[in-house]
Amino acid sequence: MEALFEYRQSLIDGTIVTIQLALASVVLAILFGLLGAWAKLSRNRIAQKSADLYTTLIRGAPDLVLMLLFFYGGQKLIIDLGDWSGLWGYVEIHQFTAGAVTIGIIFGAYMTETFRGAILAVPRGQIEAGMAYGMFKLQIFTRIIWPQMVQYALPGFTNNWLVLIKSTALVSVIGLQDVVYNAFVAGRSVRQLFTFMFAVLVIYLILTAISDMGLRWLDRKYSAGVRRA
Partner 1 sequence: MNFEKLMFAVFAVMLTIGIGSATAADKLRIGVEGAYPPFSWKEADGTLRGFDIDIAMMLCASMGVECELIEQDWDGIIPALLNKRYDAIIASMSITDERKKRVDFTNKYYNTPAIFVAPEDSGIEISASGLAGKRIGVQRATIHQCWVEKAYPDAELVLYGTQEEVFQDLAAGRIDAQLSDSVQSLEGLLNTDAGKGFAFVGEAQEDLECFGEGAGIAVRKGNPELVQSFNNAIQAIRADGSYQKLSDKYFGTDIY
**Selection from 40, 17, 45 nearest residue 171 by Cα:** 17
User: What is the pattern of x (binds partner 1, CB under 8 A) and - over residues 31-50?
Assistant: --------------------
Q: Is 93 an interacting residue with respect to partner 1 (CB under 8 A)?
A: yes
Distance (Å, whole) CA 124 – CA 145? 10
Q: Which residue of 89, 125, 134, 225 would you call a contact of partner 1, by CB under 8 A?
A: 89
DSSP letter assigned to residue 1: -
DSSP letter assigned to residue 23: H
Q: Which residue of 35, 117, 126, 184 would you call a contact of partner 1, by CB under 8 A?
A: 184
Torsion angle, alpha carbons of 189, 191, 197, 199, to 10: -80
Q: Do the Cβ atoms of 177 and 20 come closer than 8 Å? A: no
3-state secondary structure of 226: coil
Q: Is 58 an interacting residue with respect to partner 1 (CB under 8 A)?
A: no
Q: Is 10 an interacting residue with respect to partner 1 (CB under 8 A)?
A: yes
Q: Helices 146-167 and 95-121, interaxial angle, to 10°?
A: 140
Q: Is 181 an interacting residue with respect to partner 1 (CB under 8 A)?
A: yes
Q: Is 62 an interacting residue with respect to partner 1 (CB under 8 A)?
A: no
Q: Is 170 an interacting residue with respect to partner 1 (CB under 8 A)?
A: no
User: Interface with partner 1 by CB under 8 A: which range of 26-34, 111-119, 183-191, 205-213?
Assistant: 183-191
User: What is the pattern of x (binds partner 1, CB under 8 A) and - over residues 96-115?
Assistant: xxx-----------------
